[in-house]
Every structure is written in structure tokens, then in C-alpha cells.
């Protein structure tokens, strides 16, 4: 592991880079852009691969952007991986059931990729079991056994009630999960209309999960109420203090020009939050 290079798509979940470092690897960023819905491409992946590349890591639907890789995009990524026999894929699919574009495609389902893929999933998002901490992987037996050895030494077992709840979720009626995804889609559309009404904010349209990840660089260099906004960090602190709305800086996700906005809240709370954000941003000059 030590010295090997691990590629991961940006924007990314905050702990990817640190997990790689902790294991002795070298994290290599492949950046997706707002213009491409924050999705890195197979061509970018191909250009980044070296003889020391061990794996590529991505999430779809993505936290923080809500972007979803299409079947065509994943097939192209799979073709790059298959050119390099020692390279694996770690596919984070925790938001699999909160998907607004239809079927969620797993790269492990493509020919030649099952034995090259570690799929990470769980019950926190699609089954609303966040605090129960039940997750799983699907991986080649050799890797699964290695994970079991490590996990047995540093985590306690999931409680029986959590495991029973997870079993009921995955094997029972999927209607509640579908209804939840439909509610998130409605909230996405609600917030999209409100966010597009704020001058200076640039956003794509998320295809899954429950986040917006807008570019807010138009506000850098402005000030109000004794606050000077130089970065997304500054803007988040300004909005927390002036609008009483909590957001997350994009710096944590590898995108310093952006902020993450969650719409996992009631319609009334979302409307009020966006009203406050619009007012506070309008006061920056």
C-alpha cells in the first residue's frame, strides 16, 4: 500500500483523502467541473493513471454534488480500468436509492468489473437509518476477508436490533424509500427555483442525494456587517452569523469556490432559509 497512488474524483466526500494517507497511499485528485456537472471523465482518469496507481474512488450519487454517473460514463471509466490489470475501483453507492434519473448503474455490473470493484453501501440514506451505523461492502472474497480481519479488531459488532432493521429494510417493501426519494426530488425542485433567483450563485441541477453544491465565487471580495468574504469559508461564517443558516464550505470537499447546501429539511424551513440567504447575500457589496 505504501507509496501507491489512489485516484479519486473531486468534489469528494471529505474523508477519502485522509483515509488514503492513513493507509500509506498517495491521494491524487481528478477534478470535475461545474460545467460538466462536477463529473470527472474517463479521459481525465486515463491521463492520471501511472504504474503505481492502485485504485480509483468515486461516489454516485455524489456527496456533496448530487451528480450521478450515467451508464455510458461508467462504461467508459470501466474500459480505462480494464486496461490496467492491477487497478481496482471503490464505488461509494450510499445514496443509491435517492436517484432522480431512474436506474442507478453499478460499475461492478459491467463485464469484467465484478472482480475489480469494491462497492460500498449502507442503510443510512436510502432507509433513513443514519444513526444506526449499518453498512456493507460487496467485494472479491480475498478483499472481503481482509476487511473482516481489520474490522474485527477496531469496531464492535452492529447491534442485533440494527441488523434486524437493516434486513427488514432491504428485503421488505421498497415503497417508503421510493416515496422518500420522490419527496427529495420535490424539495430539490423547490430549492432550485429559489437558488436560481439569487444573483451571483451558479449551480448545476443535482440528479440524486439531497445537496446543492453551488459556485459562490462571485461573492469573494465583498463585505457587509463587518464581515469580509474572501473565501467560501468566510461566506459560510457570514451566512451563519447574519442569516442564521448553517452551510458547509466546499473547501472540505476539494472545491474551494463552492458551498454545500442540504435540502433534507421541511419545505417551510427550506423556503425560510433561502429567503434569509438571498437577503444576506444581497447586502454584500
The domain that holds 225 is classified in CATH as 3.90.1150.10
- pLDDT tens digits, 189-225: 999 999 999 999 999 999 999 999 999 999 999 999 9
Q: Where are the alpha helices (DSSP H) in the chain?
A: 16-22, 42-48, 71-82, 141-154, 160-171, 175-195, 232-242, 267-282
First to last CA, the chain: 50
Domain boundary among 133, 154, 171: 171
For residues 187 and 165, state if they share a domain: no
Claim to verify: residue 162 and residue 272 sit in the same structural domain = no
User: What residues make up the domain containing 241?
Assistant: 176-282
Same-domain status, 184 and 165? no
User: Does residue 74 sit in the same domain as residue 121?
Assistant: yes
Would you place residue 23 in the very low, low, confident or very high pLDDT band (cuts 50, 70, 90)? confident
- Tens digit of pLDDT for each residue in 220-230? 999 999 999 99
- Mean pLDDT value of segment 179-197: 97
Residues 164, 188: one domain? Answer: no
148 and 186, same domain (yes or no): no
Instruction: Classify burial at 274, counting beta carbons within 10 Å of its beta carbon; exposed 0-12, middle 13-18, buried 19 or more.
Output: buried
Residue where a domain terminates, one of 129, 147, 171: 171
Average pLDDT over every residue of 227-241: 98
Give the rounded percent of residues in the chain with a pLDDT score beyond 90: 90
pLDDT of 159: 85
pLDDT at residue 138, as a whole number: 96
Q: What's the structural domain count of the chain?
A: 2
Identify the pLDDT of residue 1: 64
Closest CA to 118 of 130, 108, 128, 110: 108
| Span 74-112, pLDDT tens digits | 999 999 999 999 999 999 999 999 999 988 899 999 999
User: Over the stretch 126-145, which tens digit does the pLDDT of each residue have?
Assistant: 999 988 889 999 999 999 99
Q: What is the CATH number of the domain that holds 148?
A: 3.40.640.10
**CA–CA gap between residue 279 and residue 285 (Å, rounded):** 12
Over range 239-268, report the average pLDDT. Answer: 96
Q: Which of 140, 171, 202 is the last residue of a domain?
A: 171
Amino acid at each position: 500500500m505504501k507509496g501507491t497512488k489512489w485516484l479519486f474524483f473531486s468534489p469528494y466526500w471529505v474523508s477519502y483523502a485522509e483515509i488514503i494517507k492513513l493507509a500509506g497511499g498517495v491521494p491524487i485528485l481528478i477534478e470535475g467541473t461545474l460545467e460538466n456537472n462536477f463529473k470527472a471523465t474517463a479521459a481525465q482518469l486515463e491521463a492520471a493513471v501511472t504504474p503505481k496507481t492502485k485504485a480509483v474512488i468515486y461516489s454516485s450519487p455524489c456527496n456533496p454534488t448530487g451528480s450521478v454517473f450515467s451508464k455510458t460514463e461508467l462504461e467508459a471509466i470501466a474500459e480505462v480500468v480494464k486496461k490496467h490489470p492491477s487497478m481496482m475501483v471503490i464505488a461509494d453507492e450510499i445514496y443509491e436509492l435517492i436517484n432522480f434519473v431512474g436506474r442507478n448503474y453499478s460499475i461492478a455490473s459491467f463485464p469484467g468489473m465484478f472482480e475489480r470493484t469494491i462497492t460500498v453501501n449502507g442503510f443510512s440514506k436510502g432507509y433513513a437509518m443514519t444513526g444506526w451505523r449499518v453498512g456493507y461492502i460487496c467485494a472479491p472474497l480475498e478483499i472481503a476477508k481482509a476487511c473482516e480481519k481489520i474490522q474485527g479488531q477496531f469496531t464492535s459488532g452492529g447491534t442485533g436490533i440494527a441488523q434486524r432493521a437493516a434486513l427488514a429494510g432491504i428485503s421488505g417493501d421498497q415503497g417508503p424509500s421510493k416515496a422518500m426519494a420522490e419527496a427529495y426530488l420535490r424539495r430539490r425542485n423547490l430549492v432550485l427555483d429559489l437558488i436560481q433567483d439569487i444573483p451571483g450563485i451558479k449551480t448545476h441541477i443535482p440528479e440524486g442525494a439531497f445537496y446543492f453544491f453551488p459556485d459562490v465565487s462571485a461573492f469573494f471580495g465583498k463585505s457587509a456587517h463587518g464581515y469580509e468574504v474572501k473565501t467560501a469559508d468566510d461566506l459560510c461564517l457570514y451566512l451563519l452569523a447574519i442569516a442564521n443558516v448553517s452551510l458547509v464550505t466546499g473547501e472540505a470537499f476539494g472545491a474551494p469556490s463552492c458551498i454545500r447546501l442540504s435540502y433534507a429539511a421541511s419545505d417551510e424551513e427550506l423556503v425560510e432559509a433561502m429567503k434569509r440567504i438571498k437577503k444576506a447575500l444581497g447586502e454584500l457589496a
